[in-house]
Amino acid sequence: MFEVREGPLSIDEVLGAVTHPGAGGVDVFLGAVRDTNEGRAVVKLEYEAYDTMAVKEMARIGDEVARAFPGVRVAVQHRVGALAVGDLAVVCAASAPHRGEAFAACRALIDAVKARVPIWKREWGPDGPYWINWVDARCTGDHAHEHG
């Protein structure tokens, strides 16, 4: 399962996609919305995806992880739209015969999802909205506000 959806994620669905009789270890990573980012209060937050490519890239990552860790099954759900503090933004799961591969595969999965899947996050702080990881070209870095 590799899915981008509006609305709440389902841990049960993601788990259901990886559990099977040969899977003695199942690892789950939950990514939730924090109330602060780099010292700034987060009032609200929105995720946007290039949906078709996001699903394609997640599936490609899943294939790579499955090749790197034989016997592993993985699944990912990522949420888009408006989220509140505490909401789940991403659910990743990996199953394997034993816990070692399950932990390693789950870590590899979430790290690759964060680095490669075309999903963007816009936070609203006290000073208004800003896109995470986007450096404003007008911003020279020689003034007071914090830079990521």
Enumerate binding residues for another protein (CB under 8 A): 31, 47-50, 52-54, 56-57, 78, 89-90, 110, 113-122, 131-135, 137
The crossing angle, in degrees rounded to 10, of helices 51-68 and 99-116 is: 150
Half-sphere exposure of 46 (CA within 13 A, CB side): 10
Distance in Å, CB of 147 to another protein, minimum: 14
Whichever of 21 and 143 has its CB closer to another protein, that residue is: 143
Distance in Å, CB of 135 to another protein, minimum: 7
Using CA of residue 14, residue 18, residue 24, residue 30, what is the dihedral sign?
Answer: negative
Angle 15-113-10 from CA coordinates, rounded to 5°: 30
Whichever of 140 and 145 has its CB closer to another protein, that residue is: 140
Distance in Å, CB of 22 to another protein, minimum: 28
Whichever of 8 and 134 has its CB closer to another protein, that residue is: 134
